[in-house]
Amino acid sequence: MNDLSDIPSVMHEIGRRARAASERLATAPAEAKRRALEAAADRLEAQVAEVQEANERDVAFGTDKGLSPAMLDRLRLDADRIAGIAASLRAVAAQEDPVGATCAEWEQPSGLRIRRVRTPIGVIGVIYESRPNVTADAGALCLKSGNAVILRGGSESFHTSSAIHACLVAGLAEAGLPEDAIQLVPTRDRAAVSEMLKMTEFIDVIVPRGGKGLVGLVQQEARVPVFAHLEGIVHVYLDAAADPVKALDVVLNAKTRRTGICGAAECLLIHRDALDTIGQGVVRALIDAGVEVRGDRDLQAIAGVTAAEADDWGREYLDSIIAARVVDDLDAAIAHVRQYGSGHTDCIVTEDNAAADRFFTELDSAILMRNASTQFADGAEFGMGAEIGIATGKLHARGPVGAEQLTSFKYIVEGDGTVRP
């Protein structure tokens, strides 16, 4: 490795190695990739103490630096969380290998047999804040999909990420795969991020994971394509035909289970006909659960509801706050989501199939739900083992991005001396 202060040259070398590794990875047997991930999980479980020690150094650094309690919580790893990371590695290992799978197959009148077969994309760059688990999840998903990955974790999680990365590299070595398949940028210098964003020669896709500041910067500056979402302005709409129990369960879980994740509900829309029968009870339950409800004029009649300002619509709180509003009908609910949503996840609570169909058809969020908590907006809950992120763009990847969406495809065409007239 070059002198760490010469960032462009350090990053160029990392990029070159990643590209070389990706060429070997593209034809790596599924079994080797599976074995590497299992071995990495074994290693991680054997090194809980070392990882915790590294994590303590990071937490101390983060505390000194004045990180918010929420960020410190995300950074902190106890034995349970480390076990969770290892489980996630095993879950990705157990997934079907996407590379080489035939996703479509047909025959043409000319006699040609055509197959569309999955291939890796190449090299993925992941830029994340201080969530050490991303090191393992992103590394595992990229390996599974035959892509090399360049990981650039937050400076506050540097030691923890390095310790987890060492386990991944040990797994690669044990399975005979190139160690450059999963590289961690070895410097905290922010210039490395700027460098990654323009490395079109070496990086095919960038996935940013973190707050609006980080994602916005990446989306704005990247010359490499980006899979990301800027915000999760998640709506739950209680329809006139909502079931009262489901409404209560779904809204409470969607808002309160964890308030800091992108699938947490940020705005509640209530059909006027359901206001007295269901809406009031749901709003009161939220207040009882400690949630600040910022309501429109109709809802301010309920004790404890504060007045919503204009800028509460379309706002991502990531906190124990929810905006709430009464709408006259399904059309008004759809119009509100279109205007204020971020295309991440939106939910309707209804027993009316026609209403659900319209909600699903007329809205175009990455994830549309019915009678289910929006906190399910997550790759593991979608059955992907883990996720590298959630995308709201419409090209290539959308919604939770797992190994399958980190692949491209090629056409295999077979004839028998077939020529075109």
Q: Which residues of this protein are in contact with a second copy, per CB under 8 A? A: 26-27, 100, 106, 108, 110, 112, 114, 117, 119, 121-122, 204-205, 225, 243, 245-246, 249-250, 252-253, 257, 356, 360-362, 364-373, 375-376, 381-383, 394-396, 398-399, 408-420
**3-class secondary-structure state, position 127:** strand
Residue among 63 and 408 whose Cβ is closer to a second copy:
408
Both tokens of 350, joined, read 């209804």
Residue among 133 and 147 whose Cβ is closer to a second copy:
147
The distance of closest approach from Cβ of residue 194 to a second copy in the complex, given in angstroms and rounded to an integer, is 18
Residue 263's φ and ψ, nearest 5 degrees, are -90, 5
Inter-CA distances, 293 with 36, 73, 246, 288, Å? 48, 25, 20, 10
The distance of closest approach from Cβ of residue 109 to a second copy in the complex, given in angstroms and rounded to an integer, is 9
The distance of closest approach from Cβ of residue 252 to a second copy in the complex, given in angstroms and rounded to an integer, is 8
Both tokens of 183, joined, read 């590289």
Residue with token string 């910022």: 294
- Axis crossing angle, helix 48-65 with helix 79-94, rounded to the nearest 10: 120
Residue among 51 and 121 whose Cβ is closer to a second copy:
121
Residue among 160 and 253 whose Cβ is closer to a second copy:
253
Report the C-alpha gap between 121 and 34 in whole angstroms. Answer: 19
Residue among 176 and 383 whose Cβ is closer to a second copy:
383
In one letter, which amino acid is 150? I
Residue among 51 and 99 whose Cβ is closer to a second copy:
99
The distance of closest approach from Cβ of residue 27 to a second copy in the complex, given in angstroms and rounded to an integer, is 6
Do the strands 234-238 and 182-184 form a parallel or antiparallel pair, or are they unpaired? unpaired
Report the C-alpha gap between 183 and 363 in whole angstroms. Answer: 39
The distance of closest approach from Cβ of residue 56 to a second copy in the complex, given in angstroms and rounded to an integer, is 29
The distance of closest approach from Cβ of residue 330 to a second copy in the complex, given in angstroms and rounded to an integer, is 14
**3-class secondary-structure state, position 361:** helix
138-166 burial, b at 16+ Cβ within 10 Å, e below that, comes to bbbbbbbbbbbbbbbbbbbbbbbbbbbbb
Residue among 296 and 362 whose Cβ is closer to a second copy:
362
Residue among 246 and 284 whose Cβ is closer to a second copy:
246
Inter-CA distances, 106 with 112, 301, 410, 413, Å? 9, 62, 14, 10
The distance of closest approach from Cβ of residue 216 to a second copy in the complex, given in angstroms and rounded to an integer, is 15
In one letter, which amino acid is 22? S
The distance of closest approach from Cβ of residue 64 to a second copy in the complex, given in angstroms and rounded to an integer, is 35
- Axis crossing angle, helix 48-65 with helix 158-174, rounded to the nearest 10: 150
